[in-house]
A = this chain, B = another copy of it.
Amino acid sequence: MAILRYNFRSEILGINTNITVCYPAGLLTTGLGYRHPVFKDNKLAYEPGMKFQTVYVLHGGGEDDTIPYRYTRLEQYAEKNMAMLVSPSVNDSLYMNTTYGFKYFDYVTQELPVVVQSLFASAFGRENNFVVGMAMGGNGALALGLMRPDLYEAVVDLSGGIGVTLDREEYIRSLHWHFPKVRETLLGEREFVESEHDLRGFAEKNISDGVKVPKIFIGVGAEDFIRDRVHEDYAILKNLGYDVYYEEAEGMKHDFDMWDFYLNKALSDWLPLKRMPIYPR
């Protein structure tokens, strides 16, 4: 696997920011001279114009773009599934446009894909883009998929729960948590309904408008303190008619043992990946 950290100025955020990008380059070779038989000696050819299906991997609360790659064996899971990975860094914004001016949702959904698809070998089109997140990033992944169903073929929410939610009562409760970044970031209880922080509104509108929605996968540890909230998001989606798969991991908690195991599962089993580069015709 091959990795880079790209440092650039985001126009939407107005600041320099970092993304981590991984390529499945360990399976590529220059030795085939731009011809691309399928896996000669287990290798595929490099070729200008080639693209990779792209999985956006969203870090959890208090973390940044480097953590998923350091605390799990994610690079290896991506390589064997021939996917490219991209991780933004969102400064505990819950992947939302914050009330204090930093528009992280717009950055991740409007600016980042354009930058990544222009400067890196990332395939465009909804069918080639996926989003997976852990903890705060799990909710982020769910929000991205419900608010921009045109962008992602499938969504994986692992142990979500901190941040926006489909359960409006739970949203209000979370404004009073001991984790103050929720209320400092999100709209208050009198303002949030039908706002850009109200996931329920988006989820219902997708259904009523007959919009094509991503396939949704939700995983949570049976011992996770946030298990009920994650399950409730699942139940609401199911009830609304979403194609949603839910799996509860026996004996697992809210930690990197869970996420290391489920990132492999998400990339190897759940996501409908081609597991091949997309070559120019």
Contact = CB atoms under 8 A, between A and B. Distances in A.
A118 B48 contact: yes
The majority secondary structure among interface residues of chain A is mixed
Contacts of A238: none
B121 A15 contact: no
A236 interface: no
B101 A181 contact: yes
A117 B7 contact: no
Contacts of A98: 100
B16 A62 contact: yes
Contact of A16 (B50, B66, B99): B66
A23 interface: yes
Contacts of A99: 100
Contact of A73 (B72, B118, B119, B181): B72
Interface residues of A, number: 64
Interface centre among A28, A63, A110 (most CB of B within 10 A): A28
Contacts of A49: 118
A256 B76 contact: yes
Given A73-B72, A120-B120, A15 B91 contact: yes
8 contacts: A1-B71, A2-B6, A18-B18, A23-B119, A34-B114, A71-B73, A71-B76, A120-B120
Interface of A: 1-9, 11-12, 14-18, 21, 23, 25-26, 28-31, 34, 46-50, 62-64, 66-67, 69-73, 75-76, 91-92, 98-101, 110-111, 114-115, 117-121, 124, 180-181, 184-185, 256, 260
